[in-house]
Amino acid sequence: MCGIVGAIGSLDFRSYLLNGLHKLEYRGYDSCGVYISNGKNHGLYKSIGTVDSLESKVPLNLSFNPHVGIAHTRWATHGGVTLSNCHPVYSSDHRIMLVHNGVIENFESIRNFLIEKGISFSGNTDSEVIANLLSFILSIDNSMTKAIERMMQELNGSYALAIIDTYDTNKLYFAKNLSPLLIGKGEGANYLASDQIPMADITHEFIDLKDGQYGYMSKDDIHLFQNGEEISFEFVSRSSENLDVSLNGYEHYMLKEIEETPSCIERLIKNYIFRKKYTFDKKLLRVIERSTEIIFLACGTSYHASLVAVDILRARGKIANAYIASEFAYHPVIMTDNPLFIIISQSGETADIIKCLPFITDNAYHLLTITNNRYSSLARKAEYYLNLYSGVEVSVASTKVYQSELVLLLMLFDAIYMDLNLIESLNKELLVLKDIINRKEEIKPIAKELANYEHCFILGRGLDYDSALEAALKIKEVTYIHASAVQAGELKHGPIALVSQDFPSLAFISEEKTAHQMRNGFQEVKARGGKVFVISSKSLAEENDSFVVLDSTIYLAPMAKVMVAQYLTYFITLEKGFNVDKPRNLAKSVTVE
């Protein structure tokens, strides 16, 4: 949520800052801004909306040569989407200019204190409170590093900050707590960003700031502090492999990412299977075997992937439960005394999951973390870690990573129970997925029809219900159609009251044992004027089904059904003329609670 880019030294600031914002835009896209300075001259440019709109405001030929700059793309938390709330924000005396990711929990009391001191505010953000607090502390003690340390003592909450003291622009200051911030070492310049991606083409040498650290950089130097002391640091090398964020000829990231699914699965096979054997850490497998309960913690799409794993484990007599992380953080449930926690997160930065960590570590429970970013906050705090190797997912709605999460979980449990025959089935599943990709045009007419409705049910039983939950989330968040997943047998216990000619259903059929009952239920829906679009597996298909996929091994069936739902979502959204990759009100990684 929100993206930060900054640099000091000799470089093309316009290009670095704006390209960086473009690359981080999927993290928040309400508004954006840039501040550049050479001490004497400065430029502050802000825009509501996309980085494209900002780009047109920053002159191609700047009238001065900047040597420091910061930029930000915002997802509003405190204060509406207005230019005064858009970053960079500045202190009322214009001394401090900063960009901020995160949320300050005690901003209101600090703001009231500053107002009592006669300081005025131009917007409503917690970030402007930080700028004014820092400037206020500087009015008492003029040392920037001391003032930053003092400021950090006052702030409760999460922050990644890039700060310019306009009285001395030869330094770019930074501070971090609970929000990611990375320093990049360059030649004749130093860089920072909230993510590696904007710096990936420039440097491979980074300082991964830890919570509570702050400091400053000049064009040649970096100084790091913690608790009032300057501390030493080492650069760590990070490869830029799998950080490609180009569209590669596709019109939208969502389409590109859906179609990258087979290559993501192939990458998982390459990384976790060698000569037909799994290569997982044996210690981890032992922990899984010995644990009395597996507890999955995740949010949204990642939570839906964990539901399939729960079904697999329970079918094998293992106690397994999946919890929405934001709920577990406040209502933890442990059924047995030796659980293993499995955290699943595409971004590895989700605040609701981070909130659960103290409960796990304070009780010394085992923890396996699965993310798509091995440098993320959750990955770095993991006891055991597995990488999803899916490459960057840019489109806000998760597609390829859902599939990778599912497959990696299945692989892990197959490594223990050895009864899923996954190593063979995965190759067959790749053909099922590629077949859907080849026939995606057949999904368009269904999408065209569904686009006319405001509501729909997604029906499924067993694993198809897990897929229905994911399909409903996808359809809701991108097409803005109200979609609700229902376990098909439950329809007659209440939800059917909503069915009418204006309220259709989409249904998944993958399981033989419930296929007949599913189809009986459709008769009840149709009798009430409701249309049913059936997505079935080939061996269970009937004439008039809307789309038929090749047969999958049962635990892999969600992959095909969800892929069809992803295409449906994509085509419905195009039909309705909405932004596919950046749905309203959302951001890619949810770093605030």
Footprint of ligand F6R (CB under 6 A): 299-302, 345-347, 350, 397-398, 473, 477, 589-590
Judged by beta carbon, residue 345 or residue 537, the one nearer ligand F6R is: 345
In 3D, which of 556, 257, 560 has the Cα closest to residue 414?
Answer: 556
Neighbouring CB atoms inside 10 A of 366's CB total 18
Judged by beta carbon, residue 132 or residue 302, the one nearer ligand F6R is: 302
Judged by beta carbon, residue 563 or residue 590, the one nearer ligand F6R is: 590
- CB of residue 235 to ligand F6R, shortest distance in Å: 27
- CB of residue 441 to ligand F6R, shortest distance in Å: 24
In 3D, which of 558, 533, 543, 537 has the Cα closest to residue 450?
Answer: 533
- For tokens 């501390």, the residue is 231
Q: Which of 2, 32, 356, 456 is catalytic?
A: 2
- For tokens 């897929």, the residue is 467
Is 2 one of the annotated active-site residues of the chain?
A: yes
CA pair distance 566, 403, nearest whole angstrom: 11
Judged by beta carbon, residue 402 or residue 457, the one nearer ligand F6R is: 402
What stretches of 480-556 show up as alpha helix (H) in DSSP? Answer: 512-527
Judged by beta carbon, residue 420 or residue 580, the one nearer ligand F6R is: 580
Backbone φ and ψ for 157, nearest 5 degrees, come out as 135, -165
- CB of residue 589 to ligand F6R, shortest distance in Å: 5
- CB of residue 343 to ligand F6R, shortest distance in Å: 9
Amino acid letter, residue 413: F
DSSP line for 446-495: HHHHHTT-SEEEEEE-THHHHHHHHHHHHHHHHH--EEEEEEGGGGGGTG
Residue whose CB is nearest to ligand F6R in the complex, by number: 300
CA pair distance 477, 520, nearest whole angstrom: 30
- CB of residue 350 to ligand F6R, shortest distance in Å: 3
- CB of residue 409 to ligand F6R, shortest distance in Å: 13
In 3D, which of 350, 10, 421, 359 has the Cα closest to residue 188?
Answer: 10
How are beta strands 42-48 and 68-74 bridged, if at all? unpaired
Q: How far apart are the first and last CA of the chain?
A: 11
Q: Which of 23, 171, 176, 588 is catalytic?
A: 588
Contact (Cβ atoms closer than 8 angstroms) between residue 319 and residue 336: yes
Q: Provide the CA 266 distance to its chain's centre, in angstroms.
A: 22
Judged by beta carbon, residue 398 or residue 546, the one nearer ligand F6R is: 398
Active site positions, annotated: 2, 588
